[in-house]
A and B are shown apart, each in its own frame.
Chain A
Amino acid sequence: MTLSARLEQSAPIPLAADITCANGELLALVGPSGSGKSTILRCLAGLHRPTGGHVRCADETWFDAGRGVNVTPQQRRVGFVFQHYALFPHLTALANVALALHHLPAHQRAAKARQWLARANLEGLETRRPGELSGGQQQRVALARALAREPQVLLLDEPFSAVDQVTRRKLLRQLIELRRSLAIPIVLVTHDLEEASLLADRMTVLHHGRTLQTAPPDEMLARPVSALVARLTDQPNLFVGQVRQQSPESDTTVVEWLGRPLLATHQPDFAVGDTVCWLVPEGGVVLVREHQVDRENTVAARVSERLAWRGHATVTARVADRRDAALSFAIGASVAQRRGIDPGASVLLQLQKSAIRLIPADPAIIAQLGAAGDLPP
């Protein structure tokens, strides 16, 4: 029952998106506001008609611009959880779910709706109207209503954005639990990268309606295909350098950064002399002690910021006191405290060779990165 779509249009929001999502897979669409995430979901559901492309689910064609096919939302069998849930305000929770059970004989609907509410842990709330339910409960009614349709595809449009942080964590856990039992493609729209990493098997990064990269979350963070993807996935350690040496025999590419050589594993797509963007994920930045200063890729830096949260500390340290050379890394909060990693402290950081990734230079991104360097430290 794989879902595949190619969506094209130039207005009102430009789209040039390719989406695939297999059975049982959860695909997260991420990107900034206005990148077309919600429009893509609406195209998949048949609520918006793009000018070109196709939408196919299993062996059915739901939309094909070339052949003039456009199946109505009613006929697509899609479960859709809207951002603000869009529950029917005049109906009880039970009636909200029962209304999506029109494919069943009338006498079976109430019992079936009760079952769906029970699956969503909403027993006892059947007779409440949406206005009498908490945000989290409303979201679960919306999810129950979407699933009651026995959809071929489940579409979730920022389903956690309208609830508080505590409820969000609870709902996230429930969704992780629930999706194990669902053998249909699930497409989740979110602007929250943490949410996407937690839930998604793969994520697709969008920008101005264009799909830039689709990959499992870990791979997306470790190997973004472009500086723009790195930016959009909020990669902190993205810098500009120049390729100085290519040594396939020693599996090494040397990049010059702030006048010092950095060793990366051999990346043959770049020529000596090329200006490149390079990045190192937070996990590839390691705090080392003074006697380890001779290790490869070790740089001295001064701590500019320490943010601690739930036992973890995210530390930012500037190399040569430059604002455009701020390395971010994560350590245990207790380690940070014990070793005196406070703002102003000097630290030695090793950038792990295997974690350094070269990316083709992007003038727009370089301009952004360079702009920071012109500011006083």
Chain B
Amino acid sequence: MDWQALSLSLQLAAATALLLLPFAVWLARRLAWSPFRGQGAIEAAILLPLVLPPTVLGYYLLLGFGGASPLAELYHALTGRALVFTFDGLLAASLIFNLPFAVQPMQRAFAAIPREVREAAWVSGLSRWQTFLRVELPLAWPGIAAALALTFAHTLGEFGVVLMVGGSLPGETRTIAIAIYDQAQAFNDSAAAGMSALLLVLSFIAVALVSRLGRSVTGR
């Protein structure tokens, strides 16, 4: 078992889920309740990571994050660090390829809250922020939790994009999925089997959780 890779994967998954949470909530509410011009294109763009081959997405991210790109220069000026073959770049890529997993369940959860229920909160005197905390969040939390679980599990398992953007630097970019690949390539079957079994269990738990949360939304 490559504990370092497991630890890195868990850090990456947790950071992705936490950083994506506020943005995804904002975007999901926006998409659910305030239709705007070009919404279809935005929704399609969010879904792209689901259908694009990870190598294609990884290739474009590599272009965008590469040393000469404006984004990389800006990031370097701000932090002194690079975006390719670093944990930072991996995290940035992870935020992008997880967008559909984070936004979609939340959007469905917010869209299920009737407009009148939010309006009832407003005419009852609750500010927009109080309405969000007291009414919207408690009603949408199964969707939000499902989004977090999906994002977490998907980050643990992502391979192609991670390999393209991060490579396989121990302690920096070698996630557990990459470690499994490396061990399998080296015919180290027992290590590959152990780590694969662990990922299998973690993924199963996440998916079971999502399906249970989904039932609690529809069963209400």
Contact = CB atoms under 8 A, between A and B. Distances in A.
Interface string B131-142: 000110011000
Nearest to B119: A47
Nearest to B134: A99
The prevalent SS among residues of B at the interface is helix
A45 interface: yes
A86 B114 contact: yes
Contacts of B120: 80, 82, 86-88, 145
A100 interface: yes
A80 B123 contact: yes
Contact of A78 (B117, B123, B127, B130): B123
B122 interface: yes
A99 B124 CA distance: 7
Contacts of A47: 119, 122-123
A86 B117 contact: yes
Contact of A88 (B117, B123, B127, B130): B117
Interface in A120-154: 131, 145-146, 149
B121 interface: yes
Interface string A97-120: 001101100000000000000000
Interface string B25-43: 0000000000000000000
B126 interface: yes
Contacts of A146: 123
A337 interface: no
The prevalent SS among residues of A at the interface is loop
Q: Which size bracket describes the interface of A in this complex?
A: 20 to 34
A149 B120 CA distance: 12
A82 B116 contact: yes
Given A88-B135, A89-B139, A89-B220, A74 B126 contact: yes
Interface in A56-109: 72-74, 76-80, 82-84, 86-90, 99-100, 102-103
A245 B93 CA distance: 89
Given A88-B117, A131-B220, A149 B124 contact: yes
Nearest to A83: B116
A80 B120 CA distance: 7
A99 B121 CA distance: 8
B127 A74 contact: yes
A90 B125 contact: no
Given A99-B134, A131-B220, A89 B124 contact: no
Interface of A: 45-47, 72-74, 76-80, 82-84, 86-90, 99-100, 102-103, 131, 145-146, 149
27 contacts: A45-B119, A45-B123, A47-B119, A73-B122, A74-B126, A74-B127, A82-B120, A83-B116, A84-B116, A86-B114, A86-B116, A87-B117, A87-B120, A88-B117, A88-B120, A89-B220, A90-B135, A90-B138, A99-B124, A99-B126, A100-B124, A100-B125, A102-B126, A103-B125, A145-B124, A146-B123, A149-B125
Given A74-B126, A84-B116, A89-B117, 5 more contacts: A74-B127, A83-B116, A87-B117, A89-B220, A145-B120
